[in-house]
DNA sequence: GAGTTTGAAACT
DNA sequence: CAGTTTCAAACTC
């Protein structure tokens, strides 16, 4: 059947028919000639579009694609597909690669609409597909292009994922598979699809619309999607797109009708994307199917992300409305995209604010520090590339991925990527406009996609929880500089109670203009945002100059003023409920508290607020800090610091701490797993760099904490494992010999202290992180270095200065 | 929501 | 460096 038709298709042009070459080609494979011609026209340009940075992506993508495709095909009973086969196309071999089939169908139909009378009747759709599908498909098809392709694909996938397709993906897949089976029974998906299309012109139309719309939407939203999903979605994209297309073609009339309905509902193609992204607005069955399929392919990963995204959406009031209402206008779309960013942001956590504020490289550093924190936060790592520009990001990501891959920290890597992508966009919302570097973004996604599988397994709940918390802050950033003080205290309190604001707090400054450390936002290096209740606020991007100037002044007085108050070197084992939970177990307050009446049992106490135990640095009276009183600990800490036995064994320390532990009052959350770790960290808690008075008793703090994290990383243990106190201990047990290196490699970068503290402050590690520069090893000391969260006029100077001082 | 308490930040 | 003031968050009612 196919062969003759294909031949015809291939020979639309009478001229060629006569040519011997043409005949020869036909003899080899009818489709091939046509394809070649088409591909030549379509692919090249598309492929060019793909960014160069695909180095990483391509391999990963391919592998993933194959695996997923194979999965999807498994329904069809085809274990694998190879590109070569497709190209060769025994016409039917194409079936193996759904992509190819789609491409062929499109190309054939498009280029020679008249020709492919037999198989491909969906010419009209093909035309649209030409422009759009080919892009995605072609990219997918091409090795390098993964970047571009994934991007589109990701979006599509994302959409479905986000949508949280009501129908179980599996079911959907089955349905589709059944339909497909018919076609496949005939042998080729493509053929089957074509047949279906023939039978159902309407479906074809829908398909066209869907595809075109989807592509448009994807393109337009690429920025958004990229942020969130780049990594994750990327994987699904391939399979998802393919499956999507095939599904569309094969869709039963019912589905087609649904699609039509959706289309009619959403005349604006752009809206579709949003809908696709969000479950409520699901545009069409086809999309749903796609999502379903994708989900089937990448169930856990996507689902996880979807969950997160959903949560974020829910959290974000505005976002919710926009999303759920569906896209009614282009502007709304943008908003949605922004919201999405915000959501993504949420993922990133409080850090996002800083990142936004930091056009400078500081953001990069921060991300790195986060990475160290790897325990809970996976995401930030990739941000480095960053100055916010996706393009720049890509390279960094690539490196990061590579490093991770090498290190075999797949889990972390994946997560980081995802977040990173999102952050990037978020970070540079304004600049982001450019999502121009979609390709770049896509790349990261691709990379991330490679690891997504790992992510699923490894991603702990913590991430999600954190994300949720962060959400509150994100919106402002995503929007960029839009700040509203409109939020009533009620709202704020409400949010706080909900725990949303815990991660990052909003200020309500009245006299300080938010340009003093009184202002929590300012102190955290963040711009005030909508939820803030501040008056006469100057801590806004609009007043960037003032902010920077003031910041400078403050830093001149105290270089560490903007450094996180709480320094945690280790993997934090965030716990649920309290913001303190976010604080790393080994975290310590940099400067220590000076409580007199609160007994360090109330949030007046910064140590308590941060969920960390008091340390030697504290001057508190009658300390009863449930996280760890300074009284008992102090001497021990001092001894330890002096001896620098930090490395000896965290266990010993932990035991001491346990003995000394006063944590009776503490909530169970802290008590169990975290408590020990925190205690462990405690002895070393003192900040090496405290400017105030008690300088360096310890490098120990950094060492100890870093040790934990580092060791864990080196061991390649997954984050969740690291989180496990037991594992930590085991890791800590590791001999000293290893520790130094560990610290050097991972720890230092990550080691950047990250504080889950309400302020969301974090110390950024040295820029070199990625580079395995030895300097990085010095990281311990560098950890405390304060990195301007705001875009500092002269960030480099500061950074350079600080290290010198510290060291 | 207003008022009080508290402790950090800023100032002298 | 110590003491005081200012400030805003945390807390209480």
What is the model's pLDDT at position A347? Answer: 34
* pLDDT tier at A426, thresholds 50, 70, 90: very low
Give percent of chain A above pLDDT 70.
Answer: 13
The answer to whether some atom of strand B lies closer than 7 Å to the beta carbon of A181 is no
The answer to whether some atom of strand B lies closer than 7 Å to the beta carbon of A593 is yes
How far from A275 is each of A163, A217, A260, A290, A535, CA to CA, in Å? 7, 10, 14, 13, 38
The answer to whether some atom of strand B lies closer than 7 Å to the beta carbon of A757 is no
The answer to whether some atom of strand B lies closer than 7 Å to the beta carbon of A16 is no
Residues A159-207: pLDDT tens digits? 333 333 333 434 433 444 444 444 434 334 433 433 444 444 434 444 4
Helices (H), A164-200: 169-186, 189-199
Chain C bases near protein Cβ (<7 Å) = 1, 6-11
Residues A573-620: pLDDT tens digits? 333 333 334 445 567 777 888 898 888 888 898 888 888 888 888 888
Q: Which nucleotide in the DNA or RNA is closest to residue A517, CA to C1'?
A: B9
The answer to whether some atom of strand B lies closer than 7 Å to the beta carbon of A148 is no
CA of A133 to C1' of C6 (A): 63
Helices (H), A650-778: 650-660, 668-669, 675-684, 700-715, 719-723, 725-733, 738-742, 748-751, 774-777
CA of A532 to C1' of C8 (A): 13
Closest protein CA to C1' of nucleotide B8, residue: A518
Asked if residue A275 lies in contact with residue A327, where contact means CB atoms within 8 angstroms, the answer is: yes
Provide mean pLDDT across the span A469-496.
Answer: 37
CA of A787 to C1' of B8 (A): 21
The answer to whether some atom of strand C lies closer than 7 Å to the beta carbon of A695 is no
Residue A4 pLDDT more than 50? no
The answer to whether some atom of strand B lies closer than 7 Å to the beta carbon of A521 is no
CA of A510 to C1' of C8 (A): 8
Residues A62-114: pLDDT tens digits? 444 434 434 443 444 343 333 433 434 434 433 343 343 343 444 444 343 33
CA of A13 to C1' of C7 (A): 82
Provide mean pLDDT across the span A329-347.
Answer: 36
Map residue A449 onto helix, strand or coil. helix
CA of A554 to C1' of B9 (A): 11
Residues A712-727: pLDDT tens digits? 333 333 333 333 333 3
What is the model's pLDDT at position A531? Answer: 76
CA of A343 to C1' of C3 (A): 47
Residues 598-637 of A, Cβ under 7 A from nucleic strand C: 602-604, 609
* pLDDT tier at A631, thresholds 50, 70, 90: low
The answer to whether some atom of strand B lies closer than 7 Å to the beta carbon of A558 is yes
CA of A556 to C1' of B1 (A): 39
The answer to whether some atom of strand B lies closer than 7 Å to the beta carbon of A606 is yes
Residue A628 pLDDT more than 50? yes
Residues 519-538 of A, Cβ under 7 A from nucleic strand C: 519-520, 534
The answer to whether some atom of strand B lies closer than 7 Å to the beta carbon of A692 is no
CA of A516 to C1' of B10 (A): 9
The answer to whether some atom of strand C lies closer than 7 Å to the beta carbon of A505 is yes
* pLDDT tier at A22, thresholds 50, 70, 90: low
Provide mean pLDDT across the span A300-315.
Answer: 36
The answer to whether some atom of strand B lies closer than 7 Å to the beta carbon of A249 is no
Q: What is the dihedral of CA A435, A449, A92, A119, to 10 degrees?
A: -40
Q: Give dist(CA A292, CA A299) in Å, integer.
A: 9
Residues 257-276 of A, Cβ under 7 A from nucleic strand C: none
CA of A609 to C1' of C1 (A): 27
What is the model's pLDDT at position A807? Answer: 32
Q: At what angle do helices A201-250 and A123-131 cross, to 10 degrees?
A: 60
CA of A59 to C1' of C6 (A): 60
Residues 285-304 of A, Cβ under 7 A from nucleic strand B: none
What is the model's pLDDT at position A15? Answer: 52
CA of A616 to C1' of C1 (A): 19
What is the model's pLDDT at position A325? Answer: 36
Chain B bases near protein Cβ (<7 Å) = 1, 5-10
The answer to whether some atom of strand C lies closer than 7 Å to the beta carbon of A693 is yes
Q: What is the mean pLDDT of chain A?
A: 44
Burial A690-718 (b: 16+ CB within 10 A, else e): bbeebebbbbbbbbbbbbbbbbbbbbebb
The answer to whether some atom of strand B lies closer than 7 Å to the beta carbon of A604 is yes
CA atoms within 13 Å, Cβ hemisphere of A708:
42
Q: Which nucleotide in the DNA or RNA is closest to residue A592, CA to C1'?
A: B8
Provide mean pLDDT across the span A298-320.
Answer: 36
Q: Of the ranges A9-23, A358-372, A604-618, A726-740, which is most confident?
A: A604-618
CA of A659 to C1' of B8 (A): 31
Give percent of chain A above pLDDT 90.
Answer: 0
Closest protein CA to C1' of nucleotide C7, residue: A518
The answer to whether some atom of strand C lies closer than 7 Å to the beta carbon of A245 is no
Map residue A754 onto helix, strand or coil. strand
* pLDDT tier at A135, thresholds 50, 70, 90: very low
CA of A553 to C1' of C1 (A): 21
The answer to whether some atom of strand C lies closer than 7 Å to the beta carbon of A511 is yes
Residue A551 pLDDT more than 70? yes
Provide mean pLDDT across the span A417-424.
Answer: 32
Closest protein CA to C1' of nucleotide C1, residue: A693
> Which strand (E) or helix (H) includes residue A373?
none
Chain-centroid distance, C-alpha A807: 34
Provide mean pLDDT across the span A393-409.
Answer: 30
The answer to whether some atom of strand B lies closer than 7 Å to the beta carbon of A565 is yes
CA of A603 to C1' of C12 (A): 14
What are the contacts of A617-620 at 24+ separation with CB within 8 A? A617/A588, A617/A589, A617/A590, A617/A591, A617/A592, A617/A685, A617/A686, A617/A687, A617/A690, A617/A692, A617/A694, A618/A589, A618/A592, A618/A593, A618/A594, A619/A592, A619/A593, A619/A594, A620/A592, A620/A593, A620/A594, A620/A595, A620/A596
**Secondary-structure breakdown of chain A: helix, strand, coil percentages, each rounded to the nearest 5:** 70, 0, 30
How far from A480 is each of A345, A356, A751, CA to CA, in Å? 12, 8, 29
What is the model's pLDDT at position A31? Answer: 58
Q: Give dist(CA A251, CA A241) in Å, integer.
A: 14
């Amino acid at each position: 059947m196919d062969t003759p038709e294909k031949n015809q298709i291939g020979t639309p042009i009478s001229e060629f028919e006569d040519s011997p070459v043409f005949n020869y080609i036909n003899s080899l494979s009818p489709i091939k000639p046509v394809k070649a011609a088409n591909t030549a026209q379509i692919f090249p340009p598309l492929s060019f579009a793909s960014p160069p940075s695909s180095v990483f992506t391509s391999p990963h993508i391919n592998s993933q694609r194959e695996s997923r495709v194979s999965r999807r095909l498994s329904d069809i009973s085809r274990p694998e597909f190879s590109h070569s086969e497709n190209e060769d196309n025994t016409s039917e071999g194409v079936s193996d690669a759904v992509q190819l089939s789609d491409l062929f169908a499109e190309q054939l139909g498009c280029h020679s609409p008249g020709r492919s009378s037999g198989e491909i009747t969906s010419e009209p759709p093909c035309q649209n597909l030409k422009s759009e599908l080919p892009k995605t498909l072609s990219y997918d098809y091409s090795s390098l292009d993964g970047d571009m392709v994934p991007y589109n694909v990701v979006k599509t996938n994302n959409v479905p994922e986000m949508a949280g397709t009501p129908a179980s993906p599996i079911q959907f897949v089955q349905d589709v598979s059944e339909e497909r089976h018919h076609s496949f029974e005939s042998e080729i998906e493509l053929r089957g699809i074509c047949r279906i299309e023939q039978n159902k012109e309407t479906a074809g139309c829908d398909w066209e619309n869907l595809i075109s719309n989807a592509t448009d939407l994807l393109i337009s939203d690429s920025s958004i999607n990229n942020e969130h999903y780049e990594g994750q979605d990327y994987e699904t994209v391939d399979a998802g797109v393919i499956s999507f297309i095939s599904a569309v073609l094969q869709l039963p009339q019912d589905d087609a009708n649904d699609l039509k309905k959706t289309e009619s509902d959403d005349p604006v193609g752009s809206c579709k994307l949003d809908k696709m992204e969000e479950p409520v607005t699901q545009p069409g069955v086809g999309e749903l199917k796609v999502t379903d399929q994708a989900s089937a392919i990448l169930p856990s990963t996507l689902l996880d992300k979807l969950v997160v995204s959903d949560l974020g959406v829910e959290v974000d009031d505005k976002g919710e409305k926009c999303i759920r209402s569906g896209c009614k206008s282009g502007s709304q779309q943008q908003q949605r995209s922004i919201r999405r960013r915000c959501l993504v942001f949420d993922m990133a956590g409080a850090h996002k604010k800083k990142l936004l504020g930091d056009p400078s490289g500081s953001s990069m550093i921060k991300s790195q520090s986060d990475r160290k924190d790897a325990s809970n936060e996976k995401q930030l790592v990739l941000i480095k590339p960053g100055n916010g520009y996706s393009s720049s990001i890509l390279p960094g990501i690539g490196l990061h991925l590579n490093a991770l891959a090498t290190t075999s920290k797949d889990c972390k890597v994946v997560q980081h990527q995802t977040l990173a992508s999102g952050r990037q966009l978020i970070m540079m919302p304004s600049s982001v406009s450019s999502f121009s570097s979609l390709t770049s973004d896509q790349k990261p996604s691709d990379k991330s996609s490679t690891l997504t599988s790992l992510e699923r397994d490894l991603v702990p709940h913590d991430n999600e929880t954190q994300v949720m918390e962060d959400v509150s802050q994100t919106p402002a950033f995503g929007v960029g500089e839009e700040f509203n003080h409109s939020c009533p205290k009620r709202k704020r309190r409400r949010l706080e109670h909900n725990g949303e604001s815990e991660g990052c707090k909003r200020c309500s400054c009245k006299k300080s203009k938010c340009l003093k450390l009184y202002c929590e936002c300012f102190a955290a290096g963040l711009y005030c945002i909508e939820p803030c209740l501040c008056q006469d606020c100057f801590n806004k991007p609009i007043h960037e100059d003032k902010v920077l100037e003031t910041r400078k002044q403050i830093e001149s007085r105290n270089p560490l003023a903007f450094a996180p108050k709480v320094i945690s070197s280790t993997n934090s084992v965030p716990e649920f409920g309290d913001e303190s939970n976010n604080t790393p177990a080994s975290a310590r307050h940099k400067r220590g508290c000076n409580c007199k009446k609160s007994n360090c049992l109330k949030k007046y106490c910064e140590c308590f607020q941060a969920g960390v135990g008091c340390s030697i640095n504290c001057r508190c009276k009658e300390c009863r800090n449930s996280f760890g009183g300074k009284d008992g600990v102090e001497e021990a800490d001092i001894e330890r610091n002096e001896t620098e036995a930090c490395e000896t064994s965290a266990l010993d320390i932990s035991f001491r701490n346990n003995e000394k532990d006063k944590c009776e009052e503490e909530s169970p959350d802290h008590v169990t797993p975290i408590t020990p770790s925190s205690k462990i960290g405690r002895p070393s808690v003192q900040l090496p760099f405290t400017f105030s008075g008690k300088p360096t008793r310890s490098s120990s703090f950094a060492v100890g904490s870093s040790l934990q994290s580092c060791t864990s990383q080196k061991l390649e243990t997954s984050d969740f494992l690291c989180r496990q106190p037991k594992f930590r201990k085991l890791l800590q047990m590791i001999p000293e010999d290893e520790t130094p290196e560990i610290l050097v490699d991972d720890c230092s970068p990550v080691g950047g202290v990250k504080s889950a503290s309400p302020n969301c402050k974090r110390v950024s590690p040295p820029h070199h992180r990625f580079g395995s520069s030895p300097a990085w090893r010095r990281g311990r000391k560098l950890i405390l270095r304060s990195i301007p969260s705001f875009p500092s006029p002269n960030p480099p100077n500061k950074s350079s200065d600080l290290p010198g001082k510290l060291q």
